[in-house]
Amino acid sequence: MTHAATAGRRRLLTTTAAFACVALTCVSFGLGGWQPASAGSTSTSTSTSTSTSTIAPGPPKTEALIVARAATVTKPAKRLRQSGLMMFPMDPEPTCTVLDNFGDARGSGRRHQGIDILATLGQQVFAVADGTLTIRYVDGASDAQLSGNAWTLTLPDKTYYFYAHLSRFADGLSVGSTVSKGQLIGYVGDTGDPGPGNYHLHFEVHPGGGSAVNGLPLLEVPTSCIVY
């Protein structure tokens, strides 16, 4: 039933898959991992063309699948290294993509002072610690041209966090309000300089009230978030 040419091509595919495996992930998976546990596959010394053509279509596909998954697991591993003490400032549902873009160049010699967390309109934004809302920027005001609607949350040690581009503020909060860790303080939006529809939370961390630092290594990023 099987043509010799077809069997030969499948052997070539198998060989190609093996090379791909060697290049990418053989250390973790091994070549033998995908072999079916049938009697035909274990007697490899004198496999006929029939047994090769029966087995060959399976392993390359499985191998390709494993390699594809292996390529994506670097992101969760990166997230694990980023686990820290600070709670994540935003509800990760339904969308959460964290950009590792602290310090990126911006116009006029500016540097990006925070990280951006891409989301959808209205996702909840939380206080990451117990503190006081000390500054509120309102979209449209001259001092809020870049930030749009924004909060500054200040802790007793003067550390402060800056949340920008909110669509709106949580009800009942004003400058001077004390908030607790995890409390809803606003909602993701695109106010300020992001541009229409570019919904994200811009989040800054200023330890001791000083210069901004990269908040990403300090945050406990939910596993459902993608980190770039």
Count of CB atoms within 10 A of residue 132's CB? 16
- Of 164 and 185, the one with the shorter C-beta distance to Zn ion is 164
Non-local CB neighbours of 105 within 8 Å, separated by 6+ positions: 111, 112
CB of 107 to Zn ion, least distance (A): 13
Nearest residue relative to Zn ion (C-beta)? 202
Non-local CB neighbours of 181 within 8 Å, separated by 6+ positions: 87, 126, 127, 128, 129, 130
136 binds Zn ion (CB under 5 A): no
Give the interface segment with Zn ion, choosing from 40-48, 113-121, 132-140, 183-191 (CB under 5 A).
113-121
Give the interface segment with Zn ion, choosing from 66-74, 82-90, 138-146, 194-202 (CB under 5 A).
194-202
206 binds Zn ion (CB under 5 A): no
Q: Which two tokens stand for residue 75?
A: 């992101």
CB of 75 to Zn ion, least distance (A): 21
- Of 202 and 206, the one with the shorter C-beta distance to Zn ion is 202
190 binds Zn ion (CB under 5 A): no
Give the interface segment with Zn ion, choosing from 47-55, 62-70, 92-100, 198-206 (CB under 5 A).
198-206
CB of 58 to Zn ion, least distance (A): 48
- Of 35 and 101, the one with the shorter C-beta distance to Zn ion is 101
What sign results for the dihedral spanned by CA atoms 113, 114, 118, 122? negative
CB of 188 to Zn ion, least distance (A): 12
202 binds Zn ion (CB under 5 A): yes
Query: From the list 53, 59, 89, 116, which residue makes contact with Zn ion (rule: CB under 5 A)?
Result: 116
Per CB under 5 A, residues contacting Zn ion are 116, 202
